[in-house]
Structure 1
Amino acid sequence: MKRAIITVALVLLGFVFPGVANAETPPGCASAGQIGATAYIKFQGDNIASVKQFAGCGSNWSYVYMWESFRNSGHHWITDTAVAVYSSASDTTPDSHKGGKSNPYDPKELWSSPTNTLSKCTAAYGLVSVAQDYSYNKYTGKRC
């Protein structure tokens, strides 16, 4: 009886929180954890990707996860991700982007390279270029 209740509860959670991206950890750093809030890239009014920033093992990473609903939409996309670096906490735009990676082959998820930026103000940056359309990007909140 308890198993049935737990199973039903887990199934219902899937309906309440559809498409939530639960990133594990960056490649090669099992102790890294998400810092800051998740940002969302939208296309035609719908969330299509989550952008997150992680810290650990002496590095920062950015991460983009393409939502299943968009992956199943028939659109093709290119994903870019990088760690945005600010020169000070008062900056409104980043000075540079580090660890950038791009994947033109419809990836489900994409990690940046690790960056040596823990002592700086940073944000995760994600960009999705939808074929036959425009590019859509988002920054997470800046963390100092």
Structure 2
Amino acid sequence: MTAAIPQTVITRQMVFNELVKAGINKDIADDLAYRYYKNELTHKNIEFLKENFNIKLEKVESSLKADIEKVETNLKSDIRELNNKIDNKLTNLIINVDNVKNEISLVKKDIYNLEKNNKWIFSLTFALWLTVLGGFIALILN
């Protein structure tokens, strides 16, 4: 005895499910599944459906490509804008850092000048104090 080759049994429901999965309206898919199952769908009908499906698929593909290109263009534009904003912020930050450095330099110079003035004032005050002290000593000794 030879083993029988298993044959796939295709039910009307299986055909219907596949047609619906392919994007065909349920009522039309039901009619087509019935015709296919009853072997009433001709080769010509299948070719016609295939061509229509391919045309719809091509339209969807080109629509998707156009949408993708728009999104890419928008993303590139947004990225350019963000890069420009980042560059501007970085430039402003660098300028601010330079300004702070300059202010620090000015403060250092002011502190140095203040120290020089304080030394001079201290020396002058000390000299005046010594003079007054000398004057008091001279008065006391006289």
Normalised by the shorter chain, which TM-score bucket? under 0.3
More strand per residue: 1
Higher RCO, 1 vs 2 (CA within 8 Å, ≥6 residues apart): 1
Q: Report the TM-score when normalising by structure 1.
A: 0.16
Q: Which has the higher helix share?
A: 2
- When normalised by structure 2's length, the TM-score is 0.17
